[in-house]
Amino acid sequence: YKIQYATYNISWDKTNAQITISTSGVNPHTVVSTTITLNEETTYYFRIWTRDEVSAGNWSAISYGATCWCRIAPDSITTLSALAELDGDIKLSWISPGDDGTTGQITSGKWKIKWSTVSTVDWNTSSGWNDYDDRYELLIDTDTNSLSEHSITITGLHGSVTYYFRIWTRDESTGANFPGNWSEISNGATTTVTKVIGILVEPTTYYNYGQMDIAQSSVCAKAFVIKNTGNINEIYSIKANPSIPSTPWQISPSPGWNKFTLKMAFHPSRPAEADFSSDDIVYSTFTTCSNTKFSIDGTEKGVNVEKGGTRNLWHLFMMPLQTTTTVQQKITITITAGENP
């Protein structure tokens, strides 16, 4: 074989070929290859000729043309680090490579960040990276100078879980450089997300039952919406107490003299009074939710509440059978969140 190449259109001639390869015993339609060292960021044009045995000395006609662009990818990142912050976020930091290895400004490039909760994951697979909490791929546009510092904060991951991170860099994907050159995989970075417990109760203002008669009872018209704002699965506890100073009223499992009863339960829609049970009675000290405690029928519960999950909490108020005061009363309901066992 004789191979001639050039960086511009020339008058092709096998006598000027730069590469000669001796060969024998090659069957028709066999794939043959060779490696050539060329200059980077340059377009090359190629032609090849084939000759049979020396005694015959018959050279083929010139081949079809082949063209290539010698592209240089950014170097792999070797400085990736992951820091777990107290608010449950993770801060990733790294130093950027260049457009060509470690040199040159990257324009219209991309970062590709992947994370997984499994250290043995195949990082080079392209599918299955769509579960934010478990295995995810994040693409970020970038224009950056070489060897510059970068960071990004990853939010919303699951608390107390260890995450593994990798990053890649791509240069521009325009013109002859399409579809862009991706770097090799970075070094690994690992950290465990700080556990955060959080709860949001809406509305934050009081619920007004209005004027009620002795021994009357009523289910609220609108539920409290309880949201898990932490990053772990949570369990809720509930208590209630009168908040008027020196009031004669007391909270009690059943209505009586100056004694009122409050029942609360989770459910998707407004329940009837008869739907509440003794499992839903609220006391002056905290009672922790269970699969049956503070739940109408188990469709919504205050246990194992997922990160970002919301629950509707309804309340049934039962007036005292007799009372010695006509002063408007206020009841403070306290709901706390803890880590689900």
- Same domain for 118 and 46: no
pLDDT of 184: 96
pLDDT band at 204 (very low <50, low <70, confident <90, very high): confident
pLDDT band at 176 (very low <50, low <70, confident <90, very high): low
Do 110 and 142 contact (CB within 8 A), yes or no?
Answer: yes
Number of domains observed in the structure of the chain: 3
pLDDT of 49: 95
Span 19-36, pLDDT tens digits: 999 888 888 888 988 998
Do 144 and 105 contact (CB within 8 A), yes or no?
Answer: yes
- Same domain for 278 and 211: yes
Structure-block tokens of residue 25? 């015993």
pLDDT of 129: 97
41 domain residue, yes or no: yes
Q: Is the pLDDT reported for residue 163 higher than 90?
A: yes
pLDDT band at 253 (very low <50, low <70, confident <90, very high): very high
Segments forming the whole domain that contains residue 206: 199-339
The CA R_g of the chain, rounded to the nearest whole Å, is 36
Of the three residues 162, 192, 222, the one that is the final residue of a domain is 192
pLDDT of 25: 82
pLDDT of 300: 98
Span 77-134, pLDDT tens digits: 999 999 999 999 999 999 999 998 999 999 999 999 999 999 999 999 999 999 999 9
- Same domain for 152 and 227: no
76 domain residue, yes or no: no
Tell me how far the alpha carbon of residue 150 is from its chain's centroid. Answer: 19
75 domain residue, yes or no: no
Of the three residues 192, 218, 252, the one that is the final residue of a domain is 192
- Same domain for 167 and 206: no
- Same domain for 108 and 41: no
276 domain residue, yes or no: yes
